[in-house]
Amino acid sequence: MANKSIQLLSIFVVLLGLWCLSDATKYRKMVGIYELRKGDFSIRVTNWGATIISVVVPDKQGKLADIVLGYDKISSYVVGTSYFGALVGRVANRIAGSRFTINGTPYHLYCNNGNNSLHGGHRGYSAVIWDVIEKVDGDSPYITFYYNSFDGEQGFPGDVDVHVTYKISPDYKLTVTMHAKPQNKLTPINLAQHSYWNLGGHSSGNILNHRVQIFASHITPVDSELIPTGEIASVDNTPFDFRKPMTVGSRISQLKGGYDHNYVVDSTPDELGLRRVAVVEESQSGRVMELWANQPGVQFYTGNFLNGTEGKGGAKYMQHAALCLETQDYPDAVHHANFPNEIYGPGQAYEHVMVYKFSARK
């Protein structure tokens, strides 16, 4: 009942505008929807959760379609539990037991996934109103959002300044750049972009026939609560091996529910430090999405928990209606010394760059 009351209150404040208190000064923050467009390529975003609402690209015949799942109304994003298109943090994915220790100091987080913390807690970065810093049109339109994450937010230590920029270019590239700077304390940071992709169109059915290639020879196995065990395991002779293009559905029945695992990206970085992470292709439309990023891991998720959620245009999103490829640090890294570091302090900067490259094969 308490959670339901919180959700209803959240809808109310978004519809009327959110009144916030900061340093005893009251100010109003409003939610908006913003479009970036270049020819027949466009995206729509909102400062609620720095969320991607739509991505429209042509297929092999030039027919346009929106290829990300989402809602028609902002109020649905407020109460939704699927993180459609959201920027999640302060720490994406799960933290076991909703607690961790830095230099002997224990920190206790908000539990929102059983006993664990998921995507920053019940009011993580996906559930706050971001400031719009800049929106620029032109050859490569972009928009930048900013959020000041305060000390103690959802239990995390220290103030952190966070920026995310969404930029599109005429060659059908969508670049997402995430920056975060701790101001006064050591803190874990691991941001992720949580869009759900269906290259046939958001309402076209499931993604089991999408062909996926992931440039990773290892995964970080998980337990029954989807918490990493600390092992780094080879994908050889397992249904996790996507080093060669395979349809999503070819081996999904061997897994309980579907894919929801972190892959260890091992392709060679380019001159900008970006690795080729994955390629997805949908044969009927001919659409192809190639993902590059500078993070060591990528969460491959196949919409296992979708169960008829009503989306854009009244579409019903059933299980496996889309897939996510969330580049990231390894999940639960605060508990595994053998995982890449995700603790940052004052004077250090977190930077996460993703580049989606869209095309269509005839």
Task: Answer yes or no: is 40 a known binding residue.
Answer: no
Q: Which of 194, 202, 261, 320 is catalytic?
A: 194
Task: Answer yes or no: is 194 a known binding residue.
Answer: yes
Q: Which of 153, 281, 282, 326 is catalytic?
A: 326
Question: Cα separations (Å) of 214 from 31, 257, 337, 341, 355?
Answer: 36, 20, 25, 23, 15
SS3 3: helix
Catalytic, 326? Answer: yes
Task: Answer yes or no: is 94 a known binding residue.
Answer: yes
264, 258, 270, 242: which is closest to 357 by C-alpha? 270
Contact 29, 49 (CB under 8 A): no
Exposed e or buried b per residue across 119-140, where buried means at least 16 C-beta atoms within 10 angstroms of its C-beta: bbbbebbbbbbbebeebeeeee
d(C-alpha 139, C-alpha 264), whole Å: 35
SS3 11: helix
Catalytic, 271? Answer: no
317-322 LR contacts (CB < 8 Å, sep 24+)? 317/69, 318/206, 319/206, 319/258, 320/206, 320/207, 320/208, 320/248, 320/249, 320/252, 320/258, 321/69, 321/196, 321/198, 321/205, 321/206, 321/207, 322/68, 322/69, 322/196, 322/197, 322/198, 322/202, 322/207
Name the strand (E) or helix (H) holding 167: strand 160-169
Task: Answer yes or no: is 196 a known binding residue.
Answer: yes
The annotated binding site for beta-D-galactose is made up of: 93-94, 194-196, 260
The annotated binding site is made up of: 93-94, 194-196, 260
Q: Which residues are catalytic?
A: 194, 326
